[in-house]
Amino acid sequence: MTYQLIDIAVAHKSAHPRLPNRVTGKVRAVLTEIRDGREQRHDLDIPVWANTSETMSEEDIDMALLVKAADILARLKSKLDQV
């Protein structure tokens, strides 16, 4: 099986209701899997969070959420490759 990340983007984000300087959100990722010569598309919504500071721009916050999601996807891919 071969997995490939096709697209990744922040779907939505908001300030955490109780923890200051934390943003929660969802990142949408699209993976393709090639199994037995056929391609299967997987649309994933990944819940993520990131600690923030007053000096971070919206782009910095988005990047922090995307990095967190990429780490989760890397761990998922590693586990699936072991199957």
Higher pLDDT, 83 or 72: 72
Backbone angles phi and psi of 57, in degrees to 5: -85, 170
* pLDDT single digits (tens) 32-53: 988 888 999 999 999 999 999 9
* Nearest of 52, 46, 43, 56 to residue 10 by alpha carbon: 46
Q: Rounded CA gap, 32 and 21, in Å?
A: 35
1-5, 42-46, 76-80: the lowest-pLDDT one: 1-5
Amino acid at 13: K
